[in-house]
Amino acid sequence: MKEGPDIARVAALLGDPARANMLTALMSGRALTATELAQEAGVTPQTASSHLAKLEAGQIVKPRKEGRHRYFTLSGPDIVEALEVLMGIANRVGHNRVRTGPKDPELRKARVCYDHLAGDMGVALFDGLAKRKLIESDVNGVALTPAGIDFANGFGIDLDGLRAKRRPLCRECLDWSARQSHLAGSFGAALLDRFYDLGWARRVPESRIVRFSDAGEQSFRDLINP
């Protein structure tokens, strides 16, 4: 008999198109209701309910009851990690969904990865901050330099507040479309929040796309390439 963790059981849960669509939608970081997830997956509420029951039993998602809604979130960061790795593989071997809609180019350019910026602009942000020596990447991972700390404070980010949380400040996250690192962690999330607040960009509803205004994109370019 085989020993060890039963990866087939977990992988099978991620291996159904409808469930994969739901989980991908949850990577936006928002909690979604059962009905919303049904729409995301393109199935009826009954089918979605069956899938969600399976995902819940397998502890892939966590439900939270609120009024007559049930909101679902991913059960942990390891799920996000697994989905990202699988996306990387699917991308490498060319398993892309055949019908690449009009959204695809926008998605590759700038999208939200859980709560931080990914896509070409996410990678550009990471590289730009590194080139300006605001972040520094050593064997431990990424960290803010002293200059980076000054920058963050000047940019309106409450670093002390972020540090109080358990979550790491900076973290690399591999981008499936660009195949390079972008900036994750609470600092990465805070940066994206500031972009929203400054009006540089906004979320396109019902998708993971982050759309920059012309002026916002110019400001962004100035930021990373002064």
The CA distance from 207 to 191, in Å, is: 20
Task: Tell me how far, at minimum, the Cβ of 128 lies from DNA, in Å.
Answer: 40
Residues 118-177 binding its own copies (CB under 8 A) are 136, 138-141, 143-145, 149, 159, 163, 166-169, 171, 174, 176-177
Residues 69-108 binding DNA (CB under 7 A) are 69-70
- The residues, any chain, with a CB within 8 Å of residue 220's CB and separated by 6 or more, are 121, 125, 195, 200, 201, 212
Binding part of the chain for DNA, among 34-42, 80-88, 148-156, 175-183 by CB under 7 A, reads 34-42
Phi and psi based region of residue 156 (left: phi greater than 0; alpha: psi -120 to 50; beta: remaining): left
Expressed in angstroms, the distance from the first to the final Cα of the chain is 61
From its own copies, DNA, none, interface partner of 53 (C-beta below 5 to 8 A by class) = DNA
Q: Applying CB under 7 A, does 17 fall inside the site for DNA?
A: yes
Q: Applying CB under 8 A, does 215 fall inside the site for its own copies?
A: no
Residues 165-224 binding DNA (CB under 7 A) are none
The CA distance from 66 to 5, in Å, is: 34
- Residue 96 and residue 89 in contact, taking contact as beta carbons nearer than 8 Å: no
Q: Which is nearer to its own copies, 101 or 199 (CB)?
A: 101
Where along the sequence are the contacts to DNA (CB under 7 A)?
16-18, 33-36, 43-54, 67-70
